[in-house]
Structure 1
Amino acid sequence: MDLGLANRTALVLGAGGGLGRAIAVALAREGAGVAIADISAQALVETAQAIETLGGRQAPRVLSVVFDLADTPSIGRHLARIERELAPVDILVNNTGGPPPATASGQDSAAWQRAFEMMVLSVVTTADYVLPGMRARGFGRIITSTSSGVVAPIPNLAFSNVLRSTLLGWSKTLAAEVAADGVTANVLVPGRIATARTMFLDEQKARRQGKSIEDVAAESARSIPLKRYGRPEEYADAVAFLASERASYITGSVIRVDGGLLANI
């Protein structure tokens, strides 16, 4: 299936590894030009190399942009550079990475503020910058990666549960505002995908429960109907489809990519 991405340009936030890297590679494989953003310059080098190894008939168009998502005043400057050196953004993939584990009570207001700026305000600010161009061109995709905690809150991940749930309300509201202009807004919910972040959370759980990380991972895999963790590439393929012309009638949706993990209807 031709996803119609050959003449599109995507911006992938948090593209330095894990889900973000897999998403950037998937979009580039479909022919999209990709701006990859992350706080780590070295991680971006590795993502760019993964894209460049795709080869094909035409060299992939990729631009690395180092910036801190919590530094919202700098976002406009970075996006202007992307437009200048690559092209206006047609596809925005909001992937902010995970905040530190935390309980819902006992966190100081500064910690909540930092998490909000990184996970919510950065997304809204970035989308507000690229949306006018998307609407004027009659095509746009706003894809926001969240967590299974927005459906079933995960213990000890209060920042993630609360702030990613905020993004659901934002995305659903936005979808209705921009649909008539050919712009869609959707949310993806990953389950247990095999990334460094998932390994870190398994390590934290193993430490709290006095178990080995192997036992924790095996127990977690047994709770998934498919009996395994997902591959980042499987998640990235779902993003690539939502970014495509083929997904033009899907908007305001929350789509799970979790191997059947969440039992909620």
Structure 2
Amino acid sequence: MDLGIAGRTALVCASTSGLGLATASALAHEGATVVVTGRSEERVRDAASGLPGAVGIAVDLVEAGGAEQLYAATVEQVGEPDILVLNGPGPAPGSARDVDADGVRTAIATLVAPHQVLLERALPTMIHRGWGRVLSISSSGVQAPIPGLALSNLGRAALAGYLKTLATEVAASGVTVNSLLPGRIATARAEQVDTAAAERSGRSREEVEAEVRGTIPVGRYGDPAEFGAAAAFLCSAPAGYITGTVLRCDGGMLPIL
């Protein structure tokens, strides 16, 4: 299938590793000009050099003015993006009872505020052109909150609600807005979550991973490339009638419709 994004420009946040890099790679190999981003100049440079036609911009989105800086640099280097992929690391694991006001502010500052700024910048041009794709790399915690990830559940659910509202407002302008929820994909973040669960329960990480695999109908963790392929499709021309949707890429793990 021709995804129809050759020659398009894509800004992929937090794309030096994990699901962000997998998404950037899938888009780049479909012919899009991809902006790879992250906090480390070295990691950004290394990730961008491994993708065809990609450019790298090192910015910390969470810092004051970070989102504005990233967007301005993107426009300067590749022009206004046709595709905006929202992504970022989640807050540290923790229980809901341990959440305090500072934690709530951190969750919003990390998972909502910088993405809202990027959307504010990108949407006018997308709407003017009559074509745009916004995709949030989120978490299955949006639909089934994950134990031990209270702040991540809070922030990601807030962003998902905002994006669903936004999707209805821009749909007639040719701009789609969707969220893609990973289950257990074999990334460093999954390893961090499994390690934290092991420490809480007094078991080894290997025991935790085996238990998790037992809850996944396909019997394994997902390959990041599988997630990237799903993300690229949602950013494609043929996906123009899919918007306001939350899609799971979880191997059937969540026992919900």
Q: Under a length normalisation based on structure 2, what TM-score does the superposition of the two structures give?
A: 0.97
* 1:71 lines up with 2:76 in the alignment: no
CA 1:215–1:90 in structure 2 vs 1: closer, same or farther (change >3 Å)? same
Who is 1:37 aligned against?
A: 37
Unaligned runs of 5+ in 2: none
**1:130-178 C-alpha deviation (Å, 9 max, x unpaired):** 1101011111001011111111111110011111011111111111111
- What residue in structure 2 maps to residue 103 of structure 1? 95
Whichever residue aligns with residue 15 of structure 1, its letter is S
Write the distance in 1 (CA, Å) between the matches of 2:252 and 2:12. 26
Residue 74 of structure 1: how far off its partner (Å): 3.2
For residue 246 of structure 1, give the secondary structure of its aligned residue in structure 2: coil
**Out of 155, 160, 170, which is 2:147 matched to?**
155
Q: What does 1:1-265 correspond to in 2, within 5 Å?
A: 1-51=1-51, 60-265=52-257
Measure the CA separation in 2 of the matches of 1:77 and 1:212: 42
Provide the secondary structure at the position in 1 that maps to 2:238: helix
* Cα deviation code 1:13-42 (max 9, x no counterpart): 010110011111110000000011111222
| Pairwise CA distance, 1:237 | 0.4
Cα distance in 2 for residues equivalent to 1:149 and 1:77: 30
- Whether contact under 8 Å (2:61, 2:70) holds in the other structure is no
Amino acid at match of 2:160: L
> What letter corresponds to residue 263 of structure 1 in structure 2?
P
How many angstroms does 1:6 deviate by?
A: 0.8
Residues 222 and 251, structure 2, Cα contact 8 Å, conserved in 1: yes
Q: Is the 8 A contact 1:172 1:185 kept in 2?
A: yes
Deviates more, 1:30-39 or 1:112-121: 112-121
Structure 1 residue identity aligned to 2:97: S
In the TM superposition, what is the alpha-carbon distance from 1:43 to its structure 2 partner?
Answer: 2.0
Amino acid at match of 1:186: N
TM-score normalised over the length of structure 1: 0.94
Kept after mapping to 2: 8 A contact 1:89/1:130: yes
Residues paired across the two proteins, number = 257
The letter for the 2-side match of 1:264 is: I
**CA displacement, residues 186-207 of structure 1 (integer Å, 9 cap, x when unaligned):** 0111100000010111111111
CA distance in structure 1 between the aligned counterparts of 2:97 and 2:24, rounded to whole angstroms? 36
Given that 2:107 and 2:154 are in contact with CA atoms closer than 8 Å, whether structure 1 keeps it comes out as no
Specify every segment of 5 or more residues in structure 1 that has no aligned partner in the other structure, as ranges: 52-59
Bigger shift: residues 68-77 or 203-212: 68-77
Q: Is the Cα–Cα contact under 8 Å of residues 13 and 37 in structure 2 kept in the other structure?
A: yes
Measured in 2, the distance between the counterparts of 1:120 and 1:264 equals 26
Letter of the 1:108 partner, please give it. D
Whole-angstrom CA distance in 1 between matches of 2:134 and 2:64 = 18
Contact 1:72–1:121 (Cα < 8 Å) also in 2: no
Rounded Cα–Cα distance in structure 1 between residues aligned with 2:188 and 2:177: 27
CA distance in 2, matches of 1:3, 1:36: 20
3-state secondary structure, aligned to 2:50: helix
Shift of 1:72: 4.3
**Which amino acid in the other structure matches residue 80 of structure 2?**
P
How far has the Cα of 1:66 moved from its partner? 1.2
Q: Aligned Cα RMSD in Å?
A: 1.1
Aligned to 1:56: none
